[in-house]
Amino acid sequence: MNNFNLHLPTQLCFGKDQHKELSKLIPANSKVLLLYGGGSIKRNGIYEKVIRELTSFDVIEFGGIEANPQYSTLLQALEVIKTQQINFMLAVGGGSVIDGTKFLASAALYSGDNSWDILEKGQRTEIGLPFGTVLTLPATGSEMNSGAVISRKETGQKLTMGGPGLFPLFSIADPCVVASLPQRQLANGIADAFTHVMEQYMTYPTSASLQDRISEGILSTLIDIAPKVMSEPENFEVAANFMWCCNMALNGIIQKGVPTDWSIHAIGHEITAAYGIDHARTLAIVLPSMYRYKIEKKETKLAQYGRRVLGISGDSRKVAELAIDQTEDFFRSLGISTKLSEYNVDNLSSFPQSCVNAMEKQRNIILGEHKDIRSADVLSILEAVI
Ligand code: NZQ
Ligand code: ZN
């Protein structure tokens, strides 16, 4: 097992009616910027519940943060933070609103001239403007981790940022919010969390037995509950298991002490930047193709997953192949298409070569747990899913 440091500073308030804790969780005398997305919180009652708890604070609102949060929108929010002297932010939304808030946490205290450098130059955020979150969509784990992904449509980029200054101070995770989610977002949440576990598990065997077993437990639970999440999102117990799986998939625990991959996400972000396909759906496109392409190096772990999680028996290569097929079937059972052509992308000529190059050259990233996936490999992996 590799050495690791584990620091999970976010206070997670999980369960029914936890928003009632808000007035105690937000530091006294805060001037609060309440951030939200396109308006779902105003239709499903979450806004009302939150605003009722904020009467003792000076609150300013900023709505309109889009899915795949846009830099240009966030710059408008940054202006509000500066002119209104905001000293606390409350993100009410899914991964996009929370990630947008993380960018603001960093940008508000940034001393450089151009806040895009935080993303483009990969500058870690050591200290950020404090913020809390009210999660409305289980999927990303952003409510308890210190990462964020920000898009810039003018340049066709979707880039990641991170650092210890980006952990939320607290997060309210009430599974009741699942009841209001459309089928598309339920499916996305399951596929995203599932892939988060896979990115940290599907590498090569190590001695990290507990990390493996926790990962396999999350994967098995997601497979078990997926049909019910889709058909009974109002079932609190199902929703609670779903929300906790999504959190555990990317709250930092299962990545400790083990090699990680993250190539599926890196490629998925480029596909979203190029075509606007939902984040989780890009993962469902890339994952099966990536594992078929890398089956030699991942065979032992794929077979372990096939046997322990999917209950497949037989020789390792066969189990590994079937495991990939069944994982693709699992995504499709959620109503998620796994071929680019199903998203009206019929050839890769429209896939910006600049995106592929960007991964390798400009930011010096060569993907995969063995750092052996280059531009040409990315194109082969994507050509197989046209
Ligand atoms: O904008 P509103 O109107 O709120 O609608 C949203 C949005 O259209 C809607 N929604 C959210 N909660 C709802 C709801 N609709 C009804 N009822 C509710 N309770 O759902 C739509 C999608 O929301 P979004 O926040 O974009 O989804 P998600 O949580 O999947 O976040 C995706 C973003 O997170 C990034 C992705 O790249 C993408 O930009 N990720 C962040 C990560 C992290 N910070 O750790 C890791 C992930 O791998 C991922 O990359
Ligand atoms: Zn993801």
Inform me whether the pLDDT recorded for 287 exceeds 80: yes
Res 347: pLDDT: 81
Strands 31-36 and 58-62: parallel
Q: What angle do CA 30, 166, 259 make, to 5 degrees?
A: 160
Ligand nearest to the CA of 189: 1
Q: How confident is the model at residue 368 (pLDDT cuts 50, 70, 90)?
A: very high
- The burial of 366, by beta-carbon neighbours within 10 Å (0-12 exposed, 13-18 middle, 19 or more buried), is given as middle
**What does the pLDDT average to over 354-372?**
77
Res 322: pLDDT: 98
Q: Which residues are in the CB-under-5-Å shell of ion ligand 2?
A: 192
**What does the pLDDT average to over 326-350?**
93
Inform me whether the pLDDT recorded for 358 exceeds 90: no
Q: What angle do CA 36, 96, 143 make, to 5 degrees?
A: 90
Show the tokens assigned to 266: 């890196």
Res 348: pLDDT: 79
Any idea where the domains of the chain sit in the sequence? 11-176, 182-385
**186 Cα–ligand 1 center, Å:** 11
Per-residue pLDDT tens digits for 196-223 = 999 999 999 999 999 999 999 999 999 9
d(CA 31, CA 36): 16
**194 Cα–ligand 2 center, Å:** 9
188 CB within 6 A, ligand 1: yes
Q: Which CATH number fits domain 11-176: 1.10.3720.10, 3.40.50.1970, 3.40.980.10, 3.40.190.10?
A: 3.40.50.1970
93 CB within 6 A, ligand 1: yes
What fold is seen in the domain 182-385?
Dehydroquinate synthase-like, alpha domain (1.20.1090)
d(CA 53, CA 314): 57
- The burial of 123, by beta-carbon neighbours within 10 Å (0-12 exposed, 13-18 middle, 19 or more buried), is given as middle
